[in-house]
Amino acid sequence: MGIASLDHVNLRTTRLDEMIEWYGDVLGMAVGPRPPFPFPGAWLYAGERACVHLVGVEAEATGSETELKLEHFAFSANGLDRFEAHLETSGISYRRVDVPAVNVIQVNVWDPDGNHIHIDFPSDE
């Protein structure tokens, strides 16, 4: 067995509506079908895949063993120039990193809760 790709990430947030809006506006993800869980949340889709699962909570995660925080997660993408232009016109702060060893250009952004996300583009774009 080998890992093929990231299926989804689950994020707990006290800012559910703001997070839904940010992932839609900045990353172009759309709210889609979600099972009828007994707690608030949303599943955000990239194409046909629910990549980001948001769970609405009353209090911030502490980073403890039961309330983990993560350093980052990443998506692969195409259209680097278009994405950077979108970030610039939207006033979204980001950091671009060229990683020649793996032929990737990372565009690093942070969602409203401060989660670090990098979007990886082929370096030949």
**Is the whole model's pTM more than 0.75, yes or no?**
yes
- Judged by average pLDDT, the poorest of 66-70, 106-110, 111-115 is 66-70
Instruction: State residue 66's pLDDT score.
Output: 62
pLDDT tens readout for residues 48-92: 999 999 989 888 766 655 665 666 888 999 999 999 999 999 999
Instruction: State residue 54's pLDDT score.
Output: 93
- Closest Cα partner for 57 from 73, 42, 35? 42
Element (H, E) at 26: helix 16-27
Q: For the chain, give the mean pLDDT.
A: 88
Separation CA 88–CA 45 (nearest Å): 23
Edge-to-edge strands of the sheet including 72-76? 72-76, 116-122, 104-110, 95-99
Instruction: State residue 64's pLDDT score.
Output: 59
Which residue segments constitute the domains of the chain, with CATH numbers given?
9-60+71-122 (3.10.180.10)
Residue type, 53: H
Instruction: State residue 72's pLDDT score.
Output: 82
